[in-house]
C-alpha cells in the first residue's frame, strides 16, 4: 500500500511580472515602478565592475541552447507561460545591464532566462524541462518507462512540466513514471512530488540519506524566523523589474503553488561510500554528499550512459556556505572534497554532467575543467579564510579581504561567481564555523543592545541632525556602506525621523543596485521598501501543520519547548506522561524552571498526569482534523491524574509573530515615497 502523502508547505513566494514601456531595448515587460533611479555613483560603480568581467565567454549560453526540442509557447500551462519571462534571453544582451543592476548579476539573469523548454541531455535517454521553477526536472529512460529526478518546488509546476515533457518528448511519452528520486532535502527538489504520484500512483520513491528527518529539522525549530528572513533573501514582497527582482541566482525564479512531499519508499543508507541500486533495470551509483549543500544529499553516476548527476553541489555560480535566510553553516571543505571525489571516481568515465540547476556540460575535458574550478572555488574560500584568520583577520574584515586574495582564474570564471552565495558572506561563514561570532576584541565581547548602542552612537556623533548632514555628503560621494551603518543608528533611536528614513532607504537601494548576489540585492531592496512603507503582503509561510505532521513526537515536544514563555511557565511546573499505544511509545515531559523537557522512556514514570493518545490522532490534531478536546470527549484520548496539567502547558505557549520587525518600520502616517509602490501593491495593504 502506498505511503501517505503529506504536504510540506514550507513557503509560498509570489513574484509579479510588471509590464511597462522602457527605454532599454533589451528589456521586455519591465517597468520603472518600485524604486528610484541609480545614482551617478552607482552607475560608475557598475560600469567599472563590468570592465572586470569576461563577456566574451559565451560557453554557458551555448550549453544552455544545446538540445532544445520544444520551446514553451502560448499553449502551455499558466505557470510555464507566465514563468518570469521579462528579460531578452539573447546572449547579445548579456552585457547590456540597466544602470540599476550589477552587470554580473544581469548576465546571470539573461543566462537563466534562456532556459525555456524541453531539452535532450542524452539522445533518447535523458531529458530536462528547464525554466519552470527554481530547479529543473529530469527524466531518465529505464526499462519500462521513466525515472524522474528532482521534481521542482510546487505540485502545480511539476504537473505542467510533466505534461509538457509527455507532449513533446520525441518518443515514449506515453510510458509511465516508474520511479521518483530526490537528490536532497531542499523543497525545490521534492515539492512537486504529489503531482507525479497522483499521475502515477505506483511510482516508487527514493530519497537521500535521512532526507525526511532533515526536511523536518531544518524547517521547524527556527522556522518562523527563517521564513521571515527568507522574505528578504528571495524578495518575496518585491516585483520583477529593473528596480526589483531580476533573477533568483539558481534560475529565473520560484513557482507559486503547493509544496508537497511523498514519503520515500527507500532512503539511501550509504553503509558503503557508494551505494549501487538497479532501478527498473537501470544501474545507478549513489554517493553520499550529506553535509555539503544540504544536510541530506547525494550525487549519482549512471554507468551505462556515462552520465554524472551532481545534484546541487555544482551549478553556474557560487553557492551558499551560509544562506542569508538562516541555516546551519555548511562545510565548505567537505563540499570541495566531495566534488574532488566525484572527479577522481567518475571524471574520466563521464561524457555528460547534469544537475538540479543550470544547463548540462558535455565532453570529458570540459567536465573535468568545470569540476576542478568548482572544487577549487569552495576549497579557496575555506582555505584562504582560515589562512587569513590564522594571521589575525576577523570576521568583519574577511568580507572584503577574501576578494583581495582571489586568483584571477576564479574571478574570471562565470560559473564560480557569487550569485547565490557571495564570497563575502561565505568567508565570514567559514570563520564562524571554526571560530564563532566573537573576534576576541574586548570591545566586541559585550556590546550594548542595538537600541541602547544606537542612542549612544547618535549622542557621540553630535545628534541626528549632524549625522544626517554628514551622511548626505557621504551619500553624494557614493560611500553607501558607512552611511547605512550610521543612519541605521539614527532610525533605531528616532523611528519618526522622516529625513533619516528617506536617506537610509535610498542608501539600501543603491547598495542593492550594486550587488552581484541576488540575495544581497533582494535584502537591500526589501529593507528599503519596509523602511518606506512597512511590511507588504507576500511573506513566505512559517512551518505548517503538514511539516509538523512528519515530526516524531520527540521533535514535536522539542518544538513546543521553543514556544514556551519561560516567565509564565516558571510558576506552573508539572510532570506528564504521554503514552502512544499505536506506536508503542511513551515520553516523560517535565516543566521545571520555566523550561519544557522531554525524554523517551520504556514505561510511564510517576507524574502529575498521563495523557494516552494514539500517534495518528496527534497527526489529526496537527492537521486540524480534530481537537484534543474532541478526542477527550469521545474517549479516543484519555487524561488521567491532574486535569490542570494541559491547561498549564497550553497557557505557557506563545504564537510567533510572522512579520516581526527587521528594519524599523514607519508608523501609520509616517510612510515615505509611497508613490513609488502605488502602481505595484497599493498602499493600504502593508502591515505595521
Assess contact for 614 and 636: CB atoms under 8 A: yes
pLDDT tens-digit series, residues 507-563: 999 999 999 999 999 999 999 999 999 998 876 654 555 566 777 889 889 989 999
- CA atoms of 378 and 384, how far apart (whole Å): 10
Please state the rounded mean pLDDT for residues 132-151. 97
Averaged pLDDT of the chain: 90
Provide φ and ψ at 218, rounded to 5°. -75, -25
Task: With H, G, I as helix, E, B as strand and everything else as coil, classify residue 412.
Answer: coil
pLDDT the model gives residue 25: 38
Q: Enter the pTM of the model.
A: 0.90
pLDDT the model gives residue 539: 67
- Strands 574-580, 16-17: pairing is unpaired
pLDDT the model gives residue 81: 59
**Res. 676: pLDDT tops 90:** no
Rounded to a whole number, what is the distance in angstroms from the first to the last CA of the chain? 49
Whether the CA torsion 382, 383, 384, 389 is positive or negative: it is positive
pLDDT the model gives residue 409: 95
Q: HEC states along 154-198?
A: CHHHHHHHHHHHHHHCCCCCCCCEEEEEECECCHHHCCEHHHHHH
- All cell numbers assigned to 536: 507588504
pLDDT tens-digit series, residues 604-632: 999 999 999 999 898 888 777 888 999 99
Placement of cell 558503503 in the chain: 272
- All cell numbers assigned to 218: 531544518
DSSP conformation class of 535: B
Assess contact for 290 and 188: CB atoms under 8 A: no
Alpha helices in 419-517 (DSSP H): 423-435, 450-460, 464-476, 480-493, 498-514
- CA atoms of 107 and 101, how far apart (whole Å): 10
Assess contact for 252 and 111: CB atoms under 8 A: no
Please state the rounded mean pLDDT for residues 207-221. 87
Q: How many helices (H) and strands (E) does the chain have?
A: 25, 23
Assess contact for 564 and 595: CB atoms under 8 A: yes
- All cell numbers assigned to 360: 548540462
Of residues 321, 230, 168, the one with CA closest to residue 10:
230
pLDDT the model gives residue 178: 98
Assess contact for 277 and 208: CB atoms under 8 A: no
pLDDT the model gives residue 175: 98
Q: What share of the chain is helix, strand, coil (3-state, %, to 5)?
A: 40, 15, 45
Beta bridge partners of residue 586, listed in sequence order: 579, 601
465 C-beta neighbours (distance < 10 Å), count? 12
pLDDT the model gives residue 675: 85
Of residues 139, 45, 99, the one with CA closest to residue 477:
45
* H or E stretch covering 397: helix 395-404
- All cell numbers assigned to 570: 516558571
- CA atoms of 531 and 487, how far apart (whole Å): 12
Q: What is the CA radius of gyration of the chain?
A: 26
**Res. 401: pLDDT tops 60:** yes
pLDDT the model gives residue 272: 80
* H or E stretch covering 307: strand 307-309
Burial 189-214 (b: 16+ CB within 10 A, else e): bbbbbbbbbeebeebbbbbbbbbbbb
Tell me whether residue 24 is exposed, middle or buried, using C-beta atoms within 10 angstroms of its C-beta: 0 to 12, 13 to 18, 19 or more.
Answer: middle
- Dihedral angle, C-alpha 539, 540, 541, 547, nearest 10 °: -170
Q: How many CA atoms are closer than 13 Å to the CA of 527, on its beta-carbon side? A: 25
Whether the CA torsion 151, 156, 162, 168 is positive or negative: it is negative
Tell me whether residue 218 is exposed, middle or buried, using C-beta atoms within 10 angstroms of its C-beta: 0 to 12, 13 to 18, 19 or more.
Answer: buried
Placement of cell 541555516 in the chain: 327
Q: HEC states along 286-329?
A: EEECCCCCCCCEEEEEEHHHCEEECCCCCCCCCCCCCCCCCCCC
- CA atoms of 543 and 279, how far apart (whole Å): 33
**Res. 15: pLDDT tops 50:** no
pLDDT the model gives residue 26: 42
pLDDT tens-digit series, residues 228-272: 998 899 998 888 889 999 999 999 988 888 888 999 999 998 778
Provide the percentage of residues in the chain whose pLDDT is more than 70.
90
**Res. 123: pLDDT tops 70:** yes
Residues 6+ apart with CB under 8 A from 279: 142, 147, 178, 179, 181, 204, 206
Domains and CATH numbers, the chain: 5-19+40-366 (3.60.15.30), 447-535+661-678 (1.25.40.880), 552-652 (3.30.1050.10)
- CA atoms of 214 and 255, how far apart (whole Å): 23
- CA atoms of 561 and 556, how far apart (whole Å): 9
Of 239-243, 274-278, 497-501, 566-570, minimum mean pLDDT range: 239-243
Give the long-range contacts of residues 470-476, CB within 8 A, separation 24 or more: 471/500, 471/503, 471/507, 472/503, 475/503, 475/506, 475/507, 476/41
Residues 6+ apart with CB under 8 A from 662: 228, 229, 232, 527, 530
pLDDT the model gives residue 375: 97
- All cell numbers assigned to 198: 497522483
Task: With H, G, I as helix, E, B as strand and everything else as coil, classify residue 488.
Answer: helix
pLDDT tens-digit series, residues 350-388: 999 999 999 999 999 999 999 999 999 999 999 999 999
Provide φ and ψ at 78, rounded to 5°. -60, -45
Provide φ and ψ at 560, rounded to 5°. -60, -35
Amino acid at each position: 500500500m502506498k505511503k501517505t502523502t503529506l504536504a510540506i508547505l514550507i513557503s509560498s513566494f509570489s513574484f509579479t511580472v510588471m509590464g511597462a514601456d522602457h527605454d532599454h531595448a533589451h528589456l521586455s515587460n519591465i517597468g520603472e515602478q518600485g524604486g528610484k533611479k541609480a545614482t551617478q555613483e552607482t552607475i560608475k560603480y557598475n560600469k567599472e565592475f563590468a570592465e572586470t568581467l569576461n563577456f566574451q565567454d559565451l560557453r554557458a549560453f551555448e550549453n544552455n541552447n544545446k538540445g532544445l526540442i520544444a520551446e514553451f509557447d502560448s499553449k502551455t500551462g499558466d505557470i510555464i507561460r507566465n514563468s518570469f519571462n521579462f528579460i531578452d534571453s539573447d546572449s547579445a544582451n548579456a552585457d547590456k545591464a540597466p544602470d540599476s543592476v550589477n552587470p554580473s548579476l544581469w548576465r546571470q539573469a539573461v543566462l537563466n532566462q534562456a532556459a525555456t523548454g524541453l531539452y535532450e541531455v542524452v539522445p533518447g535517454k535523458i531529458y530536462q524541462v528547464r525554466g519552470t521553477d527554481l530547479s529543473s526536472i529530469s527524466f531518465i529512460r529505464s526499462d519500462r518507462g521513466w525515472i524522474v529526478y528532482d521534481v521542482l518546488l510546487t505540485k502545480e509546476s511539476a504537473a505542467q512540466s510533466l505534461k509538457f515533457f509527455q507532449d513533446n518528448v520525441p518518443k515514449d511519452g506515453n510510458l509511465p513514471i516508474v520511479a521518483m528520486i530526490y537528490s536532497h532535502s531542499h523543497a525545490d527538489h521534492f515539492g512537486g512530488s504529489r503531482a507525479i504520484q497522483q499521475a502515477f500512483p505506483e511510482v516508487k520513491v527514493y530519497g537521500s540519506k535521512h532526507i525526511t528527518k532533515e526536511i523536518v529539522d531544518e524547517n521547524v525549530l527556527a522556522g518562523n524566523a527563517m521564513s521571515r528572513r527568507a522574505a528578504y533573501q528571495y524578495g518575496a514582497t518585491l516585483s520583477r523589474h529593473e528596480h526589483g527582482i531580476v533573477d533568483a541566482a539558481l534560475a529565473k525564479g520560484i513557482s507559486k503553488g503547493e509544496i508537497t512531499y511523498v514519503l520515500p519508499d527507500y532512503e539511501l543508507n550509504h553503509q558503503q561510500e557508494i551505494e549501487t541500486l538497479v532501478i527498473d533495470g537501470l544501474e545507478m551509483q549513489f554517493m553520499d554528499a550529506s553535509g555539503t549543500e544540504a544536510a541530506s544529499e547525494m550525487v549519482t553516476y549512471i554507468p551505462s550512459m556515462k552520465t554524472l548527476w551532481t545534484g546541487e553541489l555544482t551549478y553556474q555560480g557560487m553557492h551558499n556556505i551560509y544562506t542569508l535566510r538562516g541555516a546551519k553553516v555548511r562545510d565548505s571543505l567537505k563540499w570541495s572534497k566531495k566534488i574532488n571525489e566525484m572527479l577522481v571516481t567518475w571524471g574520466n568515465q563521464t561524457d555528460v554532467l547534469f544537475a538540479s540547476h543550470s544547463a548540462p556540460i558535455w565532453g570529458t575535458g570540459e567536465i573535468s575543467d568545470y569540476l576542478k574550478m568548482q572544487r577549487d572555488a569552495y576549497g579557496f574560500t575555506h582555505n584562504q579564510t582560515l589562512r587569513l584568520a590564522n594571521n589575525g583577520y576577523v570576521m568583519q574584515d574577511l568580507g572584503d579581504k577574501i576578494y583581495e586574495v582571489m586568483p584571477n582564474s576564479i574571478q574570471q570564471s562565470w560559473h564560480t561567481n557569487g550569485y547565490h552565495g557571495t564570497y563575502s558572506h561565505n568567508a565570514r561563514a567559514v570563520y564562524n564555523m571554526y571560530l564563532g561570532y566573537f573576534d576576541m576584541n574586548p570591545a566586541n565581547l559585550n556590546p550594548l543592545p542595538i537600541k541602547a548602542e544606537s542612542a549612544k552612537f547618535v549622542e557621540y556623533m553630535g545628534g541626528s541632525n549632524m549625522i544626517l548632514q554628514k551622511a548626505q555628503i557621504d551619500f553624494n560621494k557614493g560611500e553607501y556602506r558607512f552611511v547605512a551603518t550610521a543612519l541605521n543608528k539614527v532610525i533605531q533611536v528616532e523611528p519618526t525621523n522622516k529625513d533619516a528614513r528617506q536617506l537610509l532607504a535610498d542608501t539600501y537601494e543603491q547598495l542593492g543596485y550594486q550587488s552581484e548576489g541576488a540575495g544581497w540585492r533582494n535584502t537591500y531592496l526589501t529593507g528599503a521598501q519596509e523602511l518606506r512603507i512597512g511590511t507588504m503582503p507576500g511573506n513566505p509561510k512559517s512551518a505548517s501543520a503538514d511539516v509538523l505532521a512528519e515530526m516524531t513526537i520527540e521533535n514535536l515536544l522539542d518544538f513546543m519547548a521553543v514556544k514556551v514563555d519561560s516567565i509564565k511557565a516558571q510558576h506552573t511546573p508539572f510532570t506528564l506522561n504521554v503514552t502512544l499505544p499505536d506506536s508503542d511509545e511513551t515520553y516523560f515531559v517535565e516543566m521545571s524552571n520555566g523550561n519544557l523537557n522531554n525524554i523517551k522512556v520504556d514505561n510511564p514514570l510517576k507524574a502529575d498526569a498521563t495523557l494516552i493518545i494514539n500517534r495518528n490522532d496527534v497527526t489529526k490534531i496537527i492537521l486540524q482534523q480534530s481537537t484534543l478536546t474532541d478526542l477527550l470527549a469521545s474517549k479516543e484520548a484519555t487524561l488521567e491524574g491532574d486535569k490542570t496539567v494541559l491547561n498549564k502547558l497550553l497557557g505557557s505557549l506563545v504564537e510567533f509573530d510572522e512579520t516581526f520587525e527587521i528594519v524599523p518600520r514607519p508608523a501609520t502616517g509616517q510612510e515615505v515615497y509611497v508613490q513609488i509602490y502605488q502602481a505595484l501593491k497599493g498602499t493600504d495593504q502593508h502591515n505595521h
